[in-house]
Structure 1
Amino acid sequence: MKRYRRNSRIGRTRKLIIGGVAIAIAGGAFAISTGVSSAGENCVGLDQALRQNLQFIAAQRSAPDALSDARIANRQAVVDLINQRRAVAGCTANVAVPGAAATTAPATKPPATRAPATKPPVTTAPAAPPAAGTGTGEVVCKGSTVTLSGEGGAPFASSGTFPLGTVLKVTNLDNNKSITVKVETTSGSCVLLNNAAFDQVREPGKFLIRRAVIERVK
């Protein structure tokens, strides 16, 4: 009888120990499972919060206003805090932000290279027009005066310097009148004009051209 009771007690003790161990194992398994599940939920929430804040910063940078800098600074502080909590929780997911291109600084255009300055073409002032009566032949008898030969007929010239048939152009610089005549007679001057030729270049009432240009045309 005593042996039976003792065996019965030992059996009950063994059952209690086995039951306790089973409960402990089950409880440990539940704790481990709950810990993993909790960590997963925390990472999902932290990742979502990080994504939302990064999206807000990207939107502010793509369409800034007067308060954008302050808003971005505040949200960046939140982002730093979330990243710290993610590190503690062991979150390793790479949080992708839609439209992340908006968060990057726009590519800066290379500075425009200016073409080397070209010097403006040197413009020379047009040459002064030649004095009246010049430009048609060689200037001869410089400084000579021109007067009348007293001969009549059509306009012609008389000269002791040029042979007969020479064509001369006489210009009166006082009135810019000129005449081209042929040497038809001989005289002792560089050139004399007959009455008809002299009348075309004279100044009224004057019988001498003091400022004359004489050119040999041919």
Structure 2
Amino acid sequence: MKVQRKHMLAAGVAVVAAAAMAVSTGLGFADSAPTAQSVCAGSITFSAEGGAPAATSNQFPVGTTLRVTNLDNDKSAEVTVVGPSGSCVLLNAAAMDLVREPGKNVIRRNVVERLGGAQPGAGQPTQAGDRPGSASPPAARPVTGSACQGAITFFEEAAGPAATSDRFPVGTRLRVTNLDNDRTTTVTVTGPSGSCVLLNSAAMEQIREPGKNLVRNNTVEVLR
């Protein structure tokens, strides 16, 4: 009887343990939900463009729908790509307001998901200057010889003039010129971002026109 009772007790403990495991898994305790795979790497910032929430991109064609999530506050915005830029995703002001934390102009911890629209590189027209969503800017922009293409914007940072980049390694020196006013800044890349070149606020102050947060007509030169 004692042996049988021990077997019954062991079986009962096993059943209870299995039930507890099933309940904890069902409630999400056993495993935390995996973070969605982001289609863009690096920080996200915004342009001063008005209008409804939207984005520009050097990776996705016009019409692509993206969901951008700020992992620091779990706020999301669904945006449609409306044109090219120098970033994998560059939000406009309305879209940034949907996801940013108060007083912050850059989202460092983020996930970008492609929800629909044309595949990157699919169905692109072949004529120059007519490639929505490609890295090439409109033909009217005199950016021949520039190491980066598309508009340039900035992020808030209390430091001397500098930049981040998804193309150039830390330590690379770049000369950025605003062709609308011929003002130039020389910056060193200090880290990664989601843009070919993303200036910090001090560098942007050296070249931007008053009241503008975007330098559309520009050239970027690699100094070393």
TM-score range, shorter chain: 0.3 to 0.5
Larger helix percent:
1
Larger strand percent:
2
TM-score, normalised relative to structure 1: 0.42
TM-score, normalised relative to structure 2: 0.41
Greater RCO (CA < 8 Å, at least 6 residues apart)? 2
